[in-house]
Amino acid sequence: MRELHIEKVKNEIAKTEQNKRGSNITDVLPFASSRRIQKIKKDFPLVLGEYVRRICNLEINRNELRKIEKYHSEDSNELSEYIAENVEYKPLDIQHDFVDFLNNTLFSGENIKVSHPYLYNFIVVPSKDKAEFNKVSNFLFDVFTIKNENINEIFVSKESNNILMKLLLNNLDLLKESNKKQNITYTPFFKKISKLYIEDLLYLSNHRNYFLDNFALLTNFYAFMYSCQLIMKFDEFTKANYEKVDPLYFCLSWEKMGMRRKAAGEFRTYKYINNKKGNLFPHIHTMSHLSHNSYNKCSLEKGSKIEILSYTKIINLVNDGVIDREQFLNDIQEWTKEYCRIFNIEDCSPPDELESAIVYLFKCIKMKMSKDVRMRYGDNLNDLGGYHFIKQRGPLGSLFNIHQDFLLLLISVSVKDNRLPISDLFIEFEKRGIQLDNHSKTEVVMLLNKLNLIDKKSDSGDAQYVKSIL
């Protein structure tokens, strides 16, 4: 009995080659080889509307908005009109002024000003960009926050100490429970990163103003770091450890950089990731092929999506006896030869050892895939994180970057409400995927001193602690 469902894989390839949609396997990242997510780069906060609505399982009740027949001016926003229609006035002629006030208070052009977490539910994306932004929203929900009730509470509560905000929220009864199926589109590979994100997000939510200022930045960072980590882990094939974050070298935006600095080198830097990102698409294809196996029972059920499995998960299933090693190897060898025949790849000789056979299949898939397609898919990484976390540094090229606001955010979520030894602060950074060389660490300490955030236990200065920022 086969361990790899070869006919099912062939059908999937046939659909891909004919540009047909409807793959029966979950995805990994919200990227595509045909279209970049370039608009996300500067407008990442627009992703948060659909993301929050999915967290809360809510949707905007458009039928209620359509009931509004009278508009006070052409520039009025429909939400302002809706709130105004539900408030009583004495005298009545001030309603027009109230709508103008709401427009100026709640909106900046077409975009809503989020002055309360509940208002994230009302961020909408223009129809022409909806598919692009919603892909990222769904990715965030699936890999970071699915079924986390604690996060749900952040965005469903209308609690406020501000009288005007209470008035606005209590008259903004436009959300209803969504009847959309919460299907999983993206498989979470890195639960350690997801757990850290939730921990940091819940902490920030206790400090509302700071949360409102940094929710988008924190979420953007974790999505970017998650993607970078996958690029590294996939290239380690069956030896990758998804319980361990491999930190990358970042530099501070204001410090001077030279060629000998760690962040400008070739090891675990932007250059390192940039050189590997072209492997991302063929890796995903290879794992998709291998995931059509006997463990994924529903791979044979019509209309169902199966979980895409990492190389590590697959080899663990083999080592645990869930998948028969010898049969799986034979099936991979047979499929590799068939794949080479379909795409005219010559001299196809898959190895006789399972781990090597997996690597060989990847090389065949990469060989068949054009460089333009591979790089276009990988370049989405720059769109996801390029606005905040990548910076051009003259002749050194692009480097991973930390600007001051992001550094203060990192310090906030690392220290939280207690003092933290400076050495432990940098350990907390590394847990989140950020490594600094000694020069950058010195710059961080200088900034902490400047902001009076260093607490010395003794006059000697031997034991130094970072104070809580919030």
- What is the C-alpha to C-alpha distance for residues 208 and 86, in angstroms, rounded to an integer? 27
Whether residue 171 sits in one domain with residue 45 = yes
Whether residue 122 sits in one domain with residue 51 = yes
Whether residue 64 sits in one domain with residue 135 = yes
Whether residue 65 sits in one domain with residue 179 = yes
Whether residue 252 sits in one domain with residue 126 = no
158: in domain? yes
Residue range(s) defining the domain that contains residue 433: 248-263+388-466
357: in domain? no
- What is the C-alpha to C-alpha distance for residues 11 and 33, in angstroms, rounded to an integer? 20
221: in domain? no
Whether residue 252 sits in one domain with residue 139 = no
Q: What is the model's pLDDT at position 181?
A: 74
Whether residue 257 sits in one domain with residue 154 = no
Whether residue 52 sits in one domain with residue 175 = yes
Q: What is the model's pLDDT at position 180?
A: 79
Provide the phi-psi class of 268: left if phi over 0, else alpha when psi is between -120 and 50, else beta.
left
* pLDDT tens, residue by residue, 198-209: 999 999 999 999
pTM of the model: 0.93
272: in domain? no
- What is the C-alpha to C-alpha distance for residues 209 and 207, in angstroms, rounded to an integer? 6
Identify the CATH number of the domain in which residue 416 sits: 1.10.10
Quick count: other Cβ atoms within 10 Å of Cβ 139?
A: 24
Residue 63: name the closest of 179, 174, 177, 168 by CA. 174
* pLDDT tens, residue by residue, 385-397: 999 999 999 999 9
Q: How far is CA 336 from the centre of its chain?
A: 33
Cis peptide before 91 (omega within 30 of 0): yes
Last residue in a domain, options 131, 161, 185: 185
56: in domain? yes
58: in domain? yes
Whether residue 112 sits in one domain with residue 253 = no
The gap between the terminal CA atoms of the chain, to the nearest Å, is 60
Residue with tokens 């022409």: 128
- What is the C-alpha to C-alpha distance for residues 306 and 185, in angstroms, rounded to an integer? 10
235: in domain? no
Last residue in a domain, options 168, 185, 202: 185
What is the domain count for the chain? 2
Counting as low any pLDDT under 70, the low residues of the chain are 16-23, 65-76, 88-93, 146, 298-304, 457-462
Quick count: other Cβ atoms within 10 Å of Cβ 99?
A: 21
Whether residue 258 sits in one domain with residue 129 = no
Q: What is the model's pLDDT at position 300?
A: 45
- What is the C-alpha to C-alpha distance for residues 81 and 73, in angstroms, rounded to an integer? 10
- What is the C-alpha to C-alpha distance for residues 208 and 343, in angstroms, rounded to an integer? 56
Last residue in a domain, options 166, 185, 204: 185
411: in domain? yes
Whether residue 400 sits in one domain with residue 257 = yes
Residue with tokens 């499929």: 335
Residue with tokens 């590979």: 189
Whether residue 150 sits in one domain with residue 257 = no
Q: Is 367 exposed, middle or buried (0-12, 13-18, 19+ CB in 10 A)?
A: exposed
